[in-house]
Structure 1
Amino acid sequence: MKKIIFYIVIIIIVSNCNNNRNNSNHQNAKDIHNVKVGKFLIIGTTDDLRAFEYLNIINFSSASLKLKNCITDRKIIGDSIVMEIDSISEPQLLSLTSWSKDFKYRAAFIAKPNDTIIFEIKNKRFIIIGEKADEHKFYSSLEDSTPNYKNNPYKGNILEYKSRVDSIYRKKTDFFNKYVSRHNITSKLFIDFVESDLKYSHIYELIIPRTKNTVDSVYLGGQDEFSTIIQKEYNSKEQLFNLKDYLGDIKIDDFKEESHLNRFSFKSALSVAIRYYFETSDYPSYSKEKFLAEKAVIEHNFDEKIQEYAIASLITVYHGTGFGHSKKSVSFFKDEISEYGKLYPDSQYTKEMEDITEDLNSFELKLPESALNTKLLSKHGDTLTLGEIFNRSNKRIRVIDFWASWCPPCISEIQKAQNFRDKLSVENNVEWIYLSIDNDKDKWLKKSKELESYLNVRNQYLVINGTNSPLGRHLNVSWIPRYIILNKQNEIVLNNSPHPSDSIVFKRIINSIE
């Protein structure tokens, strides 16, 4: 402890005496004695100077919709460092990462206004010391002592997955309660933060199953995996999936505490809970109608601060799926973003909204060459591209139908909308192109054979590499059924249209195409 105090004194003295000194490798820091109220300091020493060069701190409670490095000032003197973090008024969850030649350093901790963390990196270990070390070490201790959600993948049974997620949550809360008791922690801010953080993380993990393996058995979740999983699992089962039983007794009131906006887990859970639980319509995913329905839930149930975040998040998520990248949605989406700007002229998310608008203004309505060159497999084993299909006939309206053999809503649409599709083909010169994203070619061929009386067209293909193909990635085909409508110039009119079974609306769209 004496050593750390000594370094702090040295840093303060040198900082005060060398105000104008430049360091070509590091951003100049403000005088420590001039740190503003609400600033958070991190002070450390190391026997591995390379670790300081690559040190970043991410604020998981950032006002931005994107995670970013939150160090505002840093000064390195000898083997010591002082870092100043953005002003904070509420507890924040920070993540520190760094690496040297052959070792990576990681730590997570709660930062409170006017607080200071003292650490040392020694013998390839990151150690937090000081008066509140027990609080600051909690998240690292939690990660070391309990199972991690990121190593807990969905394995083909959603209820078994839920059982494992619930078990991890119980172990984390049990560890937390024992940790608080063992270290005699009485800070209400700390206890409230961790309790709510664990709760919201649990809700998020249930709704966003982890299915994508990265490295070191770390799994990520996809926004639309949940709906797809339920479709696949309950295709042949007699019982229906009960969402309330699965998620438990969560309520809108669980998400009304504005002070919890400084928790990344709260913001993540809020967005997916609205999308998959509180908004109950059966509009197509990421359609104009679904957007307005989700927005209505937000406006009806939440106060201004949560509304400001939730609508900005809604806009950002829809933009990420490609919404607004079509003739039918771009004007609507721009108007919604403009309305958001008028409602929240001083929003902390203004930069994100401006970036989305700029992207919408530069969008090309035609599919890029990479998408047109996506390889497709015909029922007869021939390989061709989407561009070659388009070149077969000109001046036709086209509808691309993404489906799969395991998707009951897809099959239901194919069956019940047959007469309507045939009518549009004749009366409006509509060409239907059926693209399966099945991973198993034989299952696709088998289901196609079963649906032969409904799929009596030659435009049936298997997309090679499915959702990971250039076409799948460009259109963000992460849920099905999905219908893309193109005009006679092969421009995207709607990249997520209503289902053909919604015949009145669908016909109105087709009739409006010039």
Structure 2
Amino acid sequence: MKFIYYLLVLLILAVSCNNSEKKASAANLESKKNEKIDFLTVIPKTEIKSPILITTEKNFNHLKGYKNILHNKSDTLRIKIQPYQFIKVHNKYEYVDSLIVKQGDTLLLSFAKDTLIKEIQNKSKSFAEKLDYRTVIDTSFSNYLDAFINNYYSFDHKNSVEFKMNFSKIRFYRARANKDIIKNENQVANFITKYDSLLVEYKMETNRIFGDSRKNVYQDLFLKKRFIDISMVYRLTKKTKLKDYLSSDNFLNSLSNSTEQYSILKTILFDIIYLNKADKSRSKTVYNISEIYEDLPNKISRNDLVKKSRIICLEEMIEQGNPLDEVVQLFDKFNLEYSDSDFQNYFQTKHLIGLKKKYNSSTELNLLDSNGQTISFNDLKNNLKGNVIYVDFWASWCAPCRKAMPASKKTLNELHGKEKVAFIYLSIDKDNEAWRNASRVEGIESHKHSYLILNPDESKFMHDLKVKEIPRYMIFDTNGKLVEDNAPGPTSKKIKETLLKYKIK
């Protein structure tokens, strides 16, 4: 077909010593040359006008995914990635941007007024390769695909609504189905068959064009678009044939080895297969995960996909805040059925299952430091008697909390060694790794009193003081008595004055 040629063209375009010292130096240079560089470096070139969130998608080969925030020009991130991978850059001034990066790349970020400029540097190029449906797929193929999709549904681009989030802008368009075509069951079957054939052609071309793993990134992108289009037509029409196809072996097999498999399978489970299990009466949608976990073999035939779906269920229990005893019960059941030490270690480490089990029944506020040591908040206060204590409740995902960190550290440094004031950082993160990564970026990882709260839901302290929204700051006097339960934040001009008024005269 004619569009194949254009696809090929576009993707090509886009894309003083003694001898012994000398020998040692040469050996060191050779060693560095052969050293495996498997990371992406992210460096801000200018002052950061608003926080920048960098993320990678969670997938079954890397369940942790990646998420971290840049606040200052001095912040630098080093992210372990695949040979080729796409990352997402989020900033409140623009829509989420996806970029293709490879191991050894440096991503430079700079602001020009309200525009975030992205530049990728490496030995072979100095530009950002956008991962975007409009630019990755060539114009001819894109037009052909759009015309095909428009037979089934389209967006009303004249009427849209834009929202500004903490880290990005989002624009919503109303979608409309072409009911005349969709009424014809043969057309529904043709929609599925045609899209499958387009996927085959696209894979053939990217396999031919790329001799490296970059083809996997493009193919994953197309798999994601195919899923979005088919699921959109299903949502608009509620055609059972489309729902059955999305949970069929044929469709699910096409996702094998794709980095998009996790996100697509999760959407199929909770937005399509088990949508009727959703409880939308609360402030956020929750599911009866235990019931879904047990029912999965009735909906999915392949054992390996049942297992992966159950992994998603366990992760979702953490996300929606199920009680720890429910999580542990299902996790124990999973471990009895599947011998997967990698997942077991990952899940226990990431969510601190063992430690949380130990402290789950305790009403005391229990804390974990970066060295893996635990202490109760009461014991910590007793250890710090004689100091005014300033407590900062925060989390890796809380942009206002992290934006205030430089001011907090500045005040801490100004008072250090001069006044008896102790700063305590308490994270309410559910994810151990997210807390550690964010602490490292914010420069508080080595701070003596930086902790992760192990039992925020069970703690009487958190419940009595209604610590539900962050950032939140508190001040305790030199005897450990709470004197301000909603203290000024570190950016307040009166913070030092407020702290020092409680010191021993």
Pair in the same fold by TM > 0.5: no
Q: TM-score, normalised by structure 2?
A: 0.39
Q: TM-score, normalised by structure 1?
A: 0.38
